[in-house]
Structure 1
Amino acid sequence: MKTVTFSGYTIGEDAYNSIDLICSVYGSKIQLIGGKKALGEALPELEKALEDTNMTLLAPLYYGNECTHENMEALAKKTKDNGADIIAGVGGGKAIDTAKGVASITKLPFITIPTIASTCAATTKLSVVYNNNHKFVEFMRFDYPPIHTFINSNIIAKAPKKYLRAGMGDTLAKYYECTFATGNDELNFENGLGKTISRMCAEPLFTHGTRALKDCQNKISSTSLEEVILANIVNTGMVSLLVDQDYNGAVAHSLFYGLVLLAHIEKTYLHGDIVAYGILVQLMIDQQLEEAKKVYEYLKDWGCPVSLADIELSTDKTTLKPVLKETVQGPDMKHLPYKIDEDMIYDAILKVEKF
């Protein structure tokens, strides 16, 4: 037996007004868990939306600045002590992933309130767990995604545009990686549907991306911005929930995990920006020159890295050797249409440099 469950979503400047309607069936006491800045932005709007309802916002809990098992356990105890009925993850990926873990431990219903659109964490059943030294530990997988995500587009419009841009890079990769990884495989219903939906991780960005970034820069909530937010948070999440792990990543993400071995990459650049650069490398490996040129122009227009110089690197192979080694050994490289080695990746990097 196989069950596929998706998160519902509400988007708009008044999105929080629907919390009472959707969540009251689960109880009345909501435990907010999030980042300090995110809670500062969302809490006044949440209080206003729920003031004439029977829903109660318990004193918010700060998630702890990293998604760790220790933070999950400590927050789960506080949540139980507070007598919460519902858990709400507020903020970006790390805060929401931490709250997912708390919901799993406490067995409480879980909703998400994203305040940036840099990842699809708000709609997936996965947490990326780190240790207290900020080193990756594991992917923590859950039985179900959040019940619902409430997306206040005005709050996301006020967030730094770099988060929206990084989300766009990660979202665009979902289409190109899923398409590449599936290759000529005979796909079952879920994988076929996920692959088809993945196109909606690219088309809205090509249509609305530039306008959305300008509106975010000017802190304007607009139709274009909402289309990109939905692509980043909802479309990408749906694909992730549908397709097998073999199809959820390919070269772009594997190259990211190689590049973050370099300290300045890990410290300076957002995940989605580095993944965006990896799309170009993947397309050149697959000899999709015209598609690579098209993507290059969009990424350059959006402000994503399109060359090694953009991420403070050169073509020196000695420097890149550990990056290349890590890339080919990554789990996302295990199910591709053909074997890719270090030389193929390096050659593709050199070709991208010639654009």
Structure 2
Amino acid sequence: MQAQNIIFPAQILRGPGVISQLGDICALLGKRALVIGGHQALMAVGDKIRHQLEGCAVELVGSEWFGGESSESNITRLAKVVKDKKADIVIGVGGGKSLDTCKAVGVETNVPVVTIPTIAATCAAVTPLTIRYHDDGHFRDLFPLPQAPAAVIIDSAILAAAPLRWLAAGLGDTLAKWYEFRAISRHNGQLSGVARSSSANSRICYDLIESCGPAACDAVRAGKPNAELDQVLDAIFMFAGLTSLMSSGAHAAASHAIYEGFTVCDKTREFGHGLLVGFGNLCLLALENRSDEELMEAIRLAHACAVPLRLSEIAELNAGELDSIVKASLHAPDMENMPEPVTAGGLYEAISRVEAMADLLDA
């Protein structure tokens, strides 16, 4: 049996207002904290963090922008800041790229990391993995880490205040856990216990989003957390994270490959990881030759969760730009996980079928 290293975050706090426990958590980890995050995230929670640390005798030694990309140069730069300031805790705030950067900085400096997602766009807050990009935003690689965050703070009051598109991105990315795992595992024969756990968690992700996703979107539209939002946040962070942890991240297929294709185009690169994955989910179902009924069911759910259904909802692309996206998708590492080879013609047909079915939704 092949050896497998399964790494879990040490502590996850969830629910409205749990950022109030940040100071107590950090006091157990160290005495000098450096906050790293995106500009908007730092503005959204910076004062709360400062107040929490002051109350627990943890010194805030600085606040740094993560750099805009989870790139090797930003990781190296911020690791130097941690060392220069003698920080013994990193507090990461923001979305996936920011948190991925912070996790890698923690590994580089051997410092514990506390993650505070301010948008619910991916499960990056909990996983021992950094998705690295080049400085220009092009996808580089998946970079496994030897440690997960020391603590994760999933505060639904903070997340309810974020724009809806970021929750939609989290829903699209989390639905991929089920769609992609199913696409890969149904051709792999008997599943091991660990793989069964990953499969079960990915199915929980789907079920929670199907039942609670639309109402969770309503909560974000209103800017106030509700029970359905908390359930959906469990799916996005905990159950999606468990899916990744228990499968060592090896569960991605065409949905993520299509996202990786979108990163080569200037018009689509910054649209949002999970939103692009969400569109890729629908293309994956079409590539699998799922029935019209099943594809329409997925389209309805995606629509209720504010996930794009057409290329035109992402960007106006000319033929050359779409061709570059398709070619990059086919050469993305995740496309190799598909049980059958995917061709350019097959991907074009899948996109056309999804868009035609989406038009029926409006009819």
Q: TM-score, normalised by structure 2?
A: 0.89
Per-residue deviation, residues 333-355 of structure 1 (Å, max 9, x unmatched):
22332222222222222222321
Q: Secondary structure at the match of 2:130?
A: strand
Map Cα deviations across residues 113-139 of structure 1 (whole Å, 9 max, x no partner): 111111111111111223332333332
Looking at structure 2, the residues matched to 153 and 67 of structure 1 have their Cα atoms a distance apart, in angstroms, of: 25
Describe how 1:299-338 pairs up with structure 2 within 5 A.
299-312=302-315, 320-338=322-340
- Contact kept, 8 Å, 2:7 with 2:146, in 1: the verdict is no
Aligned with residue 219 of structure 2, among 194, 199, 215: 215
Question: 1:38: how far off?
Answer: 0.9
Residue 95 (1) aligns with residue 98 (2): yes
Deviations 1:236-289 (A, max 9, x none): 2221111145x421111112222333332224x222112111111111222222
Evaluate the alpha carbon distance shift between residue 78 and residue 205 of structure 1 in structure 2; reply closer, same or farther with a 3 A threshold.
same
Matched, 1:46 2:49: yes
Aligned pairs (5 A) from 1:28-67 = 28-67=31-70
C-alpha contact (below 8 Å) 1:166/1:273 kept by paired residues: yes
Quick check: 1:291 aligned with 2:255?
no
Q: Aligned to 1:89, what secondary structure does the other structure show?
A: strand
Contact 2:89–2:112, Cα closer than 8 Å, also in 1: yes
Between the aligned partners of 1:73 and 1:353, the Cα distance in structure 2 is 43
Report the secondary structure of 2:350's partner residue.
helix
Report the equivalent of 2:173. Answer: 170
After superposition, the Cα gap between the structure-2 partners of 1:23 and 1:342, relative to the gap in structure 1 and judged at 3 Å, is same
- Residue 276 (structure 1) aligns with: 278
Q: Deviations over 1:7-30 (max 9, x none)?
A: 231012321233344443322222
Deviations 1:7-66 (A, max 9, x none): 231012321233344443322222211122212211222233344323333322222222
Question: Is the Cα–Cα contact under 8 Å of residues 258 and 325 in structure 1 kept in the other structure?
Answer: yes
Aligned to 2:209: 205
Moved more, 176-185 or 58-67: 58-67
- Higher mean C-alpha displacement, 186-195 vs 151-160: 186-195
Structure 1 counterpart of 2:351: 349
Q: 1:218 to 1:195 in 2, by over 3 A?
A: same
Identity %: 30
* Structure 1 residue 230 corresponds to structure 2 residue 226: no
Alignment gaps of 5+ in structure 1: none
Residues 1:196 and 2:214 aligned together: no
Could you tell me which residue of structure 1 aligns to residue 361 of structure 2? none
SS in structure 1 of the partner of residue 174 of structure 2: helix
Does the 8 A contact of 2:137 with 2:269 survive in 1? Answer: no
Q: Is 2:95–2:122's contact at 8 Å kept on the other side of the alignment?
A: yes
SS in 2 for 1:87: strand
Q: Is the 8 A contact 2:171 2:305 kept in 1?
A: no
Q: SS at 1:121's partner residue?
A: coil
Amino acid of the structure 2 residue aligned with 1:149: V
Q: Distance in 2 between matches of 1:56 and 1:260?
A: 39
Counterpart amino acid of residue 323 in structure 1: I
The one-letter amino acid paired with 1:215 is A
Task: Report the Cα distance in structure 1 between the residues aligned to 2:69 and 2:341, rounded to whole angstroms.
Answer: 35
CA contact (8 A) 2:27 2:56 kept: no
The one of 84, 105, 108 equivalent to 2:108 is 105
Residue aligning to 2:133: 130
Residue identity matched to 1:276:
G
| Counterpart Cα distance in 1 of 2:265 and 2:58 | 47
- CA distance in 2 between partners of 1:286 and 1:137 (Å): 27
Question: What is the TM-score normalised by the length of structure 1?
Answer: 0.91
Is this contact kept in 1: 2:254–2:338, CA < 8 A?
Answer: no
Distance 2:12 2:208 in 1: 18
Question: How many angstroms apart in 2 are the aligned matches of 1:69 and 1:148?
Answer: 24
* C-alpha separation in 2, matches of 1:240 and 1:145: 12
Contact 2:33 2:91 survives alignment (8 Å): yes
Q: Larger deviation: 331-340 or 232-241?
A: 331-340
Structure 2: gaps (5+ residues): 358-363
Q: Please, what is the CA RMSD of the aligned residues?
A: 2.1
Q: Provide the residue aligned with 1:5 in structure 2.
A: 7
For residue 12 of structure 2, what is the amino acid of its counterpart?
Y
Mean alpha-carbon deviation: is it higher for 283-292 or for 45-54? 45-54
What's the offset of the Cα at 1:67? Answer: 2.0
Which has the higher mean CA deviation after the structures are superposed, 292-301 or 21-30?
21-30
Q: Distance in 2 between matches of 1:77 and 1:142?
A: 19
